Amino acid sequence: MNQHKVNTELHVKTALRGLYLTKDEAELLLREEMSKGRIPLGSITARCMFEPTKDSRGGSNCKLGRTPLWENELHPKSGKVLRSEFLDWVEKLIDSGHKFQKAGRSSSR
């Protein structure tokens, strides 16, 4: 699926639903989008939004920032974040996951 189509689909979902997401709603949406993007739900890429993950130096980081990203990068207000901002982060995670998968396939050849 091309990136423009993914962006368009995610933003259409934003327009059809509420402006803000609770953590529970965001977790469900993240799982759904990771599955669609073929990112394993047990991967660091999928887990780092809501769980602290460790980098190679033992810090709570992933390629996109300090984990969990929900608290450290999105900064929820009253337990909610803007749906569009969350979906932008989901896109970044999926892109990162695809790059990691592509790099893994290249190195195994």
Give the pLDDT score at 16.
52
Residue with tokens 């900064």: 75
Q: What digits encode the pLDDT tens for the residues 76-108?
A: 999 999 999 999 999 999 999 998 666 555 555
Q: How many CB atoms lie within 10 A of CB 69?
A: 21
Q: Is 28 inside a domain boundary?
A: yes
Q: What digits encode the pLDDT tens for the residues 3-54?
A: 556 566 665 555 556 899 999 999 999 999 999 999 999 999 999 999 999 8
Enclosing domain of residue 33? 24-97
Q: Is 41 inside a domain boundary?
A: yes
Q: Is 70 inside a domain boundary?
A: yes
Q: Is 105 inside a domain boundary?
A: no
Rounded Cα–Cα distance for residues 55 and 63 (Å): 9
pTM of the predicted model over 0.85: no
Please tell me the total count of domains within the chain: 1
